[in-house]
Structure 1
Amino acid sequence: MTTKIIALVDALGNLVRFVLRPGQAHDLQGVKPLIEGVSFGAFLGDKAFDANWLREELENRGALAIIPPKSNRKIQYDYDEAAYCWRHLVENYFAKIKEFRGIATRYDKTDSSYTANLNLVAALIATR
């Protein structure tokens, strides 16, 4: 059994919200509940988040889509490569939570206990 964590972090690399998904599910499936009700000026994501519906949603919100296009996309969108460099904050956050062995190896048997432990780890990281 695998679990995928889809996380939304702010400009300082602090966790705003996360969603748990099955490991075999695509990352894009967790985006809609993740960004629902959250206001932001730009969305930084990797190529996995390159979808027409997400780009339209971000445009309707007035947010910049800083997402590199997939190589097989017919229309290659431009993106701000300098701003995309800040996506490392998301990767840094995942490196921080993986310092906690129970999160990295997913010892918890249920999603609710894993979510509780992930919230606890997020609180510990925020107090550092």
Structure 2
Amino acid sequence: MKKMAYGHKTPHQARQRATIVLLAARGCPNSRIAAQTGMHVDTVRTWRSRFAGGGLPALSDRRRSGRPPSFTPLQVAEVKALACQLPAETGTPLSRWSCPELAREVVARAIAPAMSASTVRRWLKADAIKPWQYRSWIFIRDPDFRIGPGRPRVRPDRVIGDKGYTSKAIRAWLRCRGIAHTIPERSDQVRNRARRGSPGGRPPAFDKQVYKRRNLVERCFNRLNQWRGIATRYDKTAQSYRAAGTLASLLMWA
């Protein structure tokens, strides 16, 4: 209790309450304690009675009910479920959701009479939901994207990478899965294999003609990224982003 009353890092409220208990233990009346601490007599009486009934834990603040919630748990769940859907599935002409657009959609669907974008952002942040960062070109949900029975193909025929992917672990991983790869070696790997001689093994196969395809694809992406709208992906709708990509491609081929 003395450490709590005289400690340099003790909060001010806790120090005042501990001082009341110490002065009461010395036999000081409430009026004298109030005069020494500068608090009201009723406040001194309250903390003395709480300490007498509950001990040291009773000097902490009691849990308050706080402001009643403005939204029910069902409304919160409906907003999160809406954020996990693509706007195209709900008939909204957007490529991905933003917090203001979600707030307007919630009001339009009569899920809640009014809602701010900050409230939506706080709910989504609690579950790490970021619909504005959804990568539609990786996680494709379009049921018409692939027509036909069977499991979608996920294994490529060949992987073409630069020198940053020339480690033995990557090559072994591709080799055990039957994926052909064309990856150039770094100069230090070539020197180390030559220095070891026969134990260094044979150099991996490398087809220069196949590797030129990677350069062609990268240059095409770099040309497309010269368009600010394509590089930043700030378009609200998928139609406008597709139109920008089509226009840039036509100008490249013109």
User: What TM-score comes out, normalization by structure 1 length?
Assistant: 0.49
- Of structures 1 and 2, the larger Rg is shown by 2
**By percentage of residues, which structure has more strand?**
1
**By percentage of residues, which structure has more helix?**
2
User: What TM-score comes out, normalization by structure 2 length?
Assistant: 0.27
